[in-house]
């Protein structure tokens, strides 16, 4: 199972004017990931555009950072795929999957911007941008992970 992870509006509220609030929901997400050790993480956040994978991994606890296996490419590099998929973030997910060794692997995405994905996509755990990964989001993620038998 791959979890495609956004940051802004997920790991902290968006907008987030207080830098001390950055990643305020990271401990909650890491606890979920510890309960599902087979889940690997791919960063889909725009933070990937200005930081390397190792810089991104630094934000996470050591046991979780080792499970962050990559970052999605930009949809701009896949105009033909965007034309087929029609949604930017989902195009990035599909492009990453197609370039992986397991393009058929099951996946979920945590994101606050549903308009970047196909409507009613069952793979999406949508968060409230102004809140982030709260109790409700955690419950929905856990339910989806349990439903796929992880």
Long-range CB contact pairs, 72-76, < 8 A, 24+: 72/4, 72/42, 72/43, 72/44, 72/48, 72/96, 73/99, 74/49
**What pLDDT score does 123 carry?**
96
Q: 60 is in which domain, residue-wise?
A: 2-147
Per-residue pLDDT of the chain (150 residues; tens, 9 = 90+): 999 999 999 999 987 777 777 899 999 999 999 999 999 999 999 999 999 999 999 999 999 999 999 999 999 999 999 999 999 999 999 999 999 999 999 999 999 999 999 999 999 999 999 999 999 999 999 999 999 877
Q: How far apart are CA 6 and CA 20, in angstroms?
A: 18
Please tell me the total count of domains within the chain.
1
Q: How far apart are CA 143 and CA 116, in angstroms?
A: 22
**What pLDDT score does 80 carry?**
95
Number of Cβ atoms within 10 Å of the Cβ of 88: 17
List the CATH number of the domain containing 73: 3.40.50
- The CA-atom distances, in angstroms, between 10 and each of 22, 80, 83 are 10, 29, 27
**What pLDDT score does 19 carry?**
73
User: Structure tokens of 23?
Assistant: 């990643």
């Amino acid at each position: 199972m791959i979890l495609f992870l956004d940051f802004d509006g997920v790991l902290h509220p968006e907008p987030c004017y207080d830098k001390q609030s950055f990643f305020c929901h990271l401990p909650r997400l890491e606890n979920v990931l510890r309960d599902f050790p087979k889940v690997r993480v791919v960063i889909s956040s725009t933070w990937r555009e200005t930081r390397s994978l190792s810089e991104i991994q630094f934000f996470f606890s050591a046991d979780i950072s080792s499970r962050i296996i990559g970052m999605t490419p930009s949809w701009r590099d896949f105009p033909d795929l965007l034309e087929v998929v029609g949604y930017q973030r989902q195009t990035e997910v599909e492009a990453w999957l197609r370039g992986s060794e397991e393009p058929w692997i099951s996946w979920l995405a945590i994101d606050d911007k549903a308009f970047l994905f196909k409507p009613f996509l069952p793979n999406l755990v949508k968060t409230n941008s102004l809140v982030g990964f709260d109790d409700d989001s955690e419950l929905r993620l856990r339910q989806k992970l349990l439903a796929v038998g992880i």
